[in-house]
Structure 1
Amino acid sequence: MQKVTSSATQADVASLAAGITVDKSVEFTYQELFNATEGFNITHKIGQGGFGAVYYAELVGEKAAIKKMDMQATQEFLAELKVLTHVHHLNLVRLIGYSTESSLFLVYEFVENGNLSQHLRGTGYEPLSWAERVQIALDSARGLEYIHEHTVPVYIHRDIKSANILIDKNTRAKVADFGLTKLTEVGGASLQTRVVGTFGYMPPEYVRYGDISRKVDVYAFGVVLYELISGKDAIVRPTDGSASASRGLVYLFEEALTALDPKEGLQKLIDPKLGDDYPVDAILMMMHLANACTTEDPKLRPTMRSVAVALMTLSSMSEFWDMKNPGLVNLMSGR
């Protein structure tokens, strides 16, 4: 694909988009998107990201989320279009269509239950149970494993974070936001690139040298595992709002794991919303898995395939524990 600059014209973008193999039936007109959102009315707006606003609509008989992107986001638009027209998986958000008229638009399936960050830290959401957290982790890992292992070429997401993991009505997860995705050859060495992404989720080799490999996603996923355990953000800020005292979640867990008596420190990091409703062994397993994912040397981090296998074991443990949970047994028996 020809290189795109931020000053690319609308005609340039349309030409490049046409060069990507897509089903032409998914190319919408601007008028279709305008009508579906009642003129991009504020009442349809459901989100705002770094590259533009997101609107709810109903198109071609299904609920949709329309991302309206700035013309300066040409590279991100084409990256998402290229990935999501070639990659299809239950745990990756599905692209319905696109448009390059008047602006840049990507049309996705509507995932109705917000994102993981909102469920962990937002208001108006029921606390996630331990079993739900493990299932969300497993779903996300499977989506990442797919783009890392089962596509040609393979892809590196580069912006894995809780805000980019969408939750559906059944509390199942889909990985979203492929605007920073890089493709690489299978088995290829790490690449060097400009640093983009979200602080708190980026590994040392990427921040320092711009080195990028699939292990960049593994590190970020480890941070998400820590979020699932703690409910905390990737960067933990003190209650007085002092930025200078902010600590990375990875650092807080490493500090607890390496303490003389790690149990007390780790206990303080567990999300209070879980109460006592979790199997201690499973929590510890997820902590150690997250620790392996966020180790400083990328060569020592597991692959997403290994992470998914570990989470399958955790999922089985958590389901078995749920069945033994007295509260659940009483509920099921009507007591």
Structure 2
Amino acid sequence: MFNFMQVRLIGYCTESSLFLVYEFIENGNLSQHLRGTGYEPLSWAERVQIALDSARGLEYIHEHTVPVYIHRDIKSANILIDKNTRAKVADFGLTKLTEVGGGTSLQTRVVGTFGYMPPEYARYGDVSPKVDVYAFGVVLYELISAKDAIVRSTESASDSKGLVYLFEEALNAPDPKEGLKRLIDPKLGDDYPIDAILKMTHLANACTQEDPKLRPTMRSVVVALMTLSSTSEFWDMNALYENPGLVNLMSGR
């Protein structure tokens, strides 16, 4: 189970100790690049490329393995950045191996990270590839804002809000672009295309729909991000989704 967007397993030891040997990714993880010190700010183009690389890694385990694998702990800390600022999905310790297809879910013990869990998983332990899709949507919000998945209030822990809520609030504002500007990472300055930010926000919003049936597949997410990373401003929504409701979500209607 490996493609070039996943950290490569080099070998293992079963003698005096048990351990796995992975390739060394020397440039830290996405969480560190977005919120840590000592890292150069990521440009908008680099953020889109990181999103695309990560999406391809997830698409591989969802679409190209038999049986299907589900990561269950997608978050910015589990996306490693190499010396060329390319991303690789890491930490498959919680991966769920299942015989089910993409449209079916299993029930299992809840593991993962608060802020990235979809409702059906946090409440009932229902697992499907759409669990990873939801978490990936939160990562897209992180790439835009550089904020934690849960934005904690300085006054009261009970006032903490998730990125999903904050971005939905911005999208529902009278002027969504103005709402988004208050969430965009200040390190980007003015060096970003607001229309592209809006498109990525709509993609993240589609990924984080409460109903898992309304979320796109990772294959569709990859296609959307490939389009976003190109110079073309034309987004063919009908080519991305079979579900007309998702087309409307992605196009902002």
TM-score (norm 1): 0.67
Task: Tell me the secondary structure at the aligned position of residue 219 of structure 2.
Answer: helix
Q: Indicate the structure (1 or 2) with the bigger Cα radius of gyration.
A: 1
In structure 1, how many angstroms separate the alpha carbons of the residues matched to 2:16 and 2:189? 51
Tell me the secondary structure at the aligned position of residue 10 of structure 2.
strand
Distance 2:153 2:38 in 1: 23
Q: 1:146 aligns with which of 43, 48, 60?
A: 60
Q: Tell me the amino acid that sits aligned with residue 191 of structure 1.
A: L
- Once the two structures are overlaid, the 10-residue window that deviates more, 281-290 or 253-262, is 253-262
Among 203, 218, 222, the residue aligned to 1:289: 203
Indicate if the aligned counterparts of 1:158 and 1:181 stay in contact, CA closer than 8 A.
yes
Distance 1:102 1:233 in 2: 40
- 2:132 equivalent in structure 1: 217
- Is residue 2:48 matched to residue 1:134? yes
Residues 222 and 318 (structure 1), Cα distance of their counterparts in 2 relative to 1, 3 Å cut: farther
Pairwise CA distance, 1:237: 1.0
SS at 2:72's partner residue? coil
> What fraction of aligned residue pairs are identical, expressed as a percent?
88
Of structures 1 and 2, the one scoring higher in RCO (CA 8 A, sep 6+) is 2
Residue 32 of structure 2 corresponds to residue 122 of structure 1: no
Q: Provide the C-alpha distance between the structure 2 equivalents of 1:152 and 1:255, rounded to a whole number of angstroms.
A: 39
Matched, 1:194 2:80: no
CA distance in 1, matches of 2:34, 2:154: 18
Contact 1:152/1:186 (8 A) holds in 2? no
Taking the aligned partners of 1:206 and 1:179, their CA distance within structure 2 comes to: 18
> Does the 8 A contact of 2:177 with 2:198 survive in 1?
no
Tell me how many residue pairs correspond in the alignment: 232
Matched, 1:230 2:157: no
Aligned residue in 2 for 1:268: 182
Deviation at 1:259, TM superposition (A): 2.2
1:245 Cα deviation (Å)? 1.6
Query: Where do 1:12-91 residues align within 5 Å?
Result: 87-91=1-5
Q: CA deviation at 1:318?
A: 8.4
- RMSD over aligned CA atoms reads 1.5
SS of structure 2 residue aligned to 1:96:
strand
AA in 2 matched with 1:309? V
Q: Output the amino acid matched with 2:138.
A: V
Match of 1:308 among 222, 244, 247: 222
Amino acid across the alignment from 2:112? G
For structure 2, the residue ranges without an aligned partner over 5 or more in a row are 234-253
Residue type at the aligned position of 1:139: D
Query: TM-score with structure 2 length normalisation?
Result: 0.88
Match of 2:7 among 78, 93, 104: 93
> What is the rounded CA distance, in whole Å, between the counterparts of 1:233 and 1:318 in structure 2?
31
The one-character-per-residue Cα deviations of 1:138-173 (angstroms, maximum 9, x if unpaired) are 000000000000111110000000000000000000
Contact 1:131 1:318 survives alignment (8 Å): no
Gaps of 5+ in 1: 1-86, 320-335
1:175 aligns to 2:126 (yes or no): no
Structure 1 residues 205 and 186: alpha-carbon distance in aligned structure 2, compared to 1, 3 A threshold = closer
**Aligned-pair CA distance for 1:106:** 1.6
TM superposition shift of 1:228: 0.2
Q: Higher strand fraction: Structure 1 or Structure 2?
A: 1
Q: Deviations over 1:112-155 (max 9, x none)?
A: 10000000000000000000000000000000000000111110
Residue 262 of structure 1 deviates from its aligned partner by: 2.5
1:99 maps to amino acid = C
**Where in structure 1 do 4 or more consecutive aligned residues deviate above 4 Å?**
none
Equivalent in the alignment of 2:169: 255
